[in-house]
Amino acid sequence: MTESLDPRLRQLPNNAGRFGPYGGRYVPETLIPALDELTAAYKEAKKDKAFQARLVDLLNNYVGRPSPLSFASRLSEQFDRRIWLKREDLNHTGAHKINNSIGQVLLAQRIGKKRIIAETGAGQHGVATATACALLGVECRIYMGTEDMRRQLPNVYRMRLLGAEVVGVSAGTSTLKDAINEALRDWVTNVEETHYVIGSALGPHPFPMMVRDFQCVIGKEARKQILKEENKLPDLLLACVGGGSNSIGLFHPFIKDTSVKMLGVEAGGNGTVLGEHAARFDGGTFGVFQGTASYVLQNEDGQVTGTHSVSAGLDYASIGPEHAWLRDCDRAEYVRCSDEEALAGFHLLAEKEGIIPALESAHAIGALQHAVDRTEKDGIIIVNVSGRGDKDVAEVARCEGVEI
């Protein structure tokens, strides 16, 4: 039996960029014309066959799509479910971020922007955007907190090799949120010739919608692939949620398939006290942060609090507005996975399937038991392996006191 779709989920977002009470645009007035221009240009590009053909060509012949859907036979045996892995780790640059970066840089060229800026935390989005800019021949500047630069030196060098300028930000905690503030400041100043490539399904409208659409290639492919392999839809989708782009990319094409459950996994960090985790749905409250309304980890004065996760890509105080609405409407469910459980997931996928996942993706693996508890024996589960773990090997060794 399938229920009919909750009418509140029929058009996401509405014309004002709202997902229920979430989303919207909370930016300085000087940015509104650029956001309007972007929204209009994106709507046109979406319908333009030549634009779409160029995007598909780059995704297929440069990124290496479609990414495989691999049957995880040994995991399936262990959990008594049929577990399939969507292999975003096999994309060029090693994660799903490139799907969005290429789409946005193409769009920026279409509207005549000569300069690209972006921010990056761990460096994955910075590397993906620098890659897209090298490929398409566009000037690129990446903002990165100086603390993150210190922790992710190889990615800083990678971006420079790709021809990008990397600018250190030493305000605040010298991490991702500070880099975003600096990128927003640059955008306000140089908006005429500049496009800001936001890296997750966050920020002011149209970004949560646009990033989602570029990442929906994940779910569209997975839907086709599972129907071909199993001749039916999956029972559950499982993905980690930082800002929420890899997960919404997998989930969104299945929203109308009401028999398909969706389970997002947030970073449980090393405790349940504010500051020890990045579980926005388990400690966060309604708020506005960096251009959008959603659940935010904040204190009673509305000051955004610090967060912690072993994985830099999940370590953010807010969550994409579409997830907030899917959760309020009971269409998706969210659980947390601690640092320790994620490290166990990291080892499990390596040992059982020969895949070393990104620490972000390891949170989805670490939460497999929650997926199993929500499905029946031999139920079909698709797990998004959002990225590969080469970047995290040294960090895992450090966490576990192993010398390499």
CB 78 within 8 A of CB 348: no
Is 386 a known active-site residue?
yes
Which residues, 6 or more positions from 325, have their beta carbon under 8 angstroms from its beta carbon? 8, 9, 12, 19, 20, 21, 22, 23
Is 97 designated active site? yes
217-231 burial, b if ≥16 CB within 10 A, otherwise e? bbbebbbebbeeeee
Nearest to ligand PLP of 266, 276 (CB atom): 266
Task: Kindly state the smallest distance separating residue 96's Cβ from ligand PLP, in Å.
Answer: 6
Question: What is the nearest approach in angstroms of ligand PLP to the Cβ of residue 29?
Answer: 28
Output the smallest distance, CB 342 to ligand PLP, in A.
Answer: 11
Residues in the site for ligand PLP, rule: CB under 6 A? 95, 97, 124, 200, 240-247, 313-314, 358, 360-361, 386-387
Of 67, 86, 97, 276, catalytic: 97
Instruction: Give me the catalytic one of 76, 318, 338, 386.
Output: 386
Q: Is 119 a catalytic residue?
A: yes
Pure H helices in 10-152: 32-47, 49-58, 73-79, 97-110, 124-136, 146-151
CA distance 157 to 251: 34
Nearer to ligand PLP, 191 or 241 (CB): 241
208 phi, psi to nearest 5 deg: -60, -35
Residue placing its CB nearer to ligand PLP in the complex, 174 or 386 = 386
- The nearest distance, CB 281 to ligand PLP, in angstroms, is 13
Three-state secondary structure call for residue 254:
helix
Of 118 and 191, nearer to ligand PLP (C-beta) is 118
Strand order in the sheet with 285-289: 18-19, 22-23, 292-296, 285-289
Nearer to ligand PLP, 242 or 284 (CB): 242
Q: From the CB of 304, what's the least distance to ligand PLP, in Å?
A: 18
3-state secondary structure of 45: helix
Residue nearest to ligand PLP (CB): 387
Catalytic residues: 97, 119, 386
